Amino acid sequence: MDIRIGIANTGRELTFESSESAESVKKAVTDALDAAASHVTFTDSKGNSYIVPTAGLAFVEVGTEESRRVGFVA
């Protein structure tokens, strides 16, 4: 699934594909915000880790877990 994160005062967004479920990503973000944690960590499908400060989170967009279609649709 695709994850897009907007960071305050930054013109670019952090976009990556993760193998985690949408619910686990939502839970990680809400738990970090509720606990007033300084950061939240994400891991993409290639094994790269991203540490994002919670104070700078503008938005987190979690895509669907649906696989992409290949080919033509009739």
DSSP three-state, residue 53: strand
H or E element that contains 61: strand 57-62
H or E element that contains 32: helix 22-34
| Neighbour-count burial of 63, counting CB atoms closer than 10 A to its CB (0-12 exposed, 13-18 middle, 19+ buried) | middle
The values of phi and psi at residue 41, to 5°, are -115, 135
pLDDT tens-digit readout, 28-45:
999 999 999 999 999 999
* Mean pLDDT, residues 41-57 taken together: 92
Q: What is the pTM of this model?
A: 0.76
Count CB neighbours of 29 within 10 A. Answer: 19
Domain borders along the chain are 2-62
